[in-house]
């Protein structure tokens, strides 16, 4: 009889996390033509829901790009130029911003076998989570950055997690302004057969 194991996610927050832009959570309305002004929020439901995904910008950190991600969004079909609708084109590395790694990211036999982001277990990516704030002088450190390890241990750390295929790596989470505690985490990667990584939208719900 097969025993099913549900693996809760443990989110580690560095006390000196990567800086992010503070955005107001208040909704405002413009007096100009009474058009509503869009507000980009980080917190919803009076502090019940936290968006822990980074916003994609041209200057956000990106692997092997010293000037940041660069331009990744175009508008080839524009209503201002006579198109019936606005339709954007997006091009960016799959391991940009807040993203998830599949086992095939650094283990080639898993890549050839088809262990891509479309095979990741959504029960692991959606479930109970504990967010803890680890002091900098502790022996346990979570990396709130582009990867789970510093450059010197980049490959070995990934291989340790990927080999069993039981741990799913979500990297680049935005946790610096989120209170510690118990949450439900919800992370959904794109369904990209053949891709070893994917941008992912993650939220925490109290």
Residues 51 and 85 in one domain: no
Place of tokens 């029960």: 123
Buried b or exposed e, range 109-124, using 16+ CB within 10 angstroms: ebbeeebbbeebeeeb
Residues 140 and 72 in one domain: no
- DSSP 8-state assignment for residue 118: G
Residues 195 and 119 in one domain: yes
Asked if residue 42 is part of any domain, the answer here is yes
Task: Return the CATH number at 126.
Answer: 3.50.30.50
Q: What are 182's strand-pairing partners?
A: 130
Asked if residue 1 is part of any domain, the answer here is no
Mean pLDDT for all residues in the chain? 80
What range does the domain containing 118 cover? 10-16+36-56+93-205
CA atoms within 13 A on the CB side of 76: 4
Residues 187 and 173 in one domain: yes
What's the pLDDT tens digit per position in 43-75? 999 999 999 999 999 999 887 788 899 999 999
Q: What are 74's strand-pairing partners?
A: 89
Q: Could you give the CA distance from residue 7 to residue 117 in angstroms, rounded to a whole number?
A: 18
Q: How many domains, the chain?
A: 2
Asked if residue 30 is part of any domain, the answer here is no
Res. 132 pLDDT band, cuts 50 70 90:
confident
Residue 29 has pLDDT above 90, yes or no: no
Q: Please check whether residue 22 is in contact with residue 142, taking contact to mean a CB–CB distance below 8 angstroms.
A: no
Q: Return phi, psi of residue 30, to 5°.
A: -80, 145
Cα Rg for the chain, rounded, in angstroms?
19
- Confidence at residue 65, expressed as pLDDT on a 0 to 100 scale: 82
Residues 185 and 133 in one domain: yes
């Amino acid at each position: 009889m097969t025993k099913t194991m549900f693996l809760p996610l443990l989110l580690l927050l560095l006390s000196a996390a990567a800086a992010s832009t503070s955005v107001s959570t208040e909704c405002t309305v413009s007096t100009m033509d009474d058009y509503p002004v869009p507000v980009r929020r980080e917190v919803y439901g009076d502090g019940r829901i936290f968006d822990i995904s980074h916003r994609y910008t041209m200057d956000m950190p990106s692997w092997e790009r010293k000037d940041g991600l660069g331009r990744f969004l175009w508008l080839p079909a524009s209503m201002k130029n006579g198109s019936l609708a606005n339709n954007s084109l997006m091009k960016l590395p799959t391991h940009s911003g807040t993203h998830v790694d599949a086992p095939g990211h650094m283990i080639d036999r898993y890549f050839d076998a088809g262990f891509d982001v479309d095979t990741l277990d959504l029960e692991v990516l959606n479930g109970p989570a504990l967010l803890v704030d680890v002091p900098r002088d502790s022996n346990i450190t979570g990396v709130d950055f582009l990867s789970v390890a510093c450059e010197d241990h980049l490959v070995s750390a990934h291989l340790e997690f990927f080999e069993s295929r039981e741990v799913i790596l979500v990297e680049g989470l935005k946790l610096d302004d989120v209170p510690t505690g118990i949450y439900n985490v919800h992370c959904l990667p794109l369904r990209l057969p053949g891709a070893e990584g994917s941008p992912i939208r993650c939220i925490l719900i109290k």
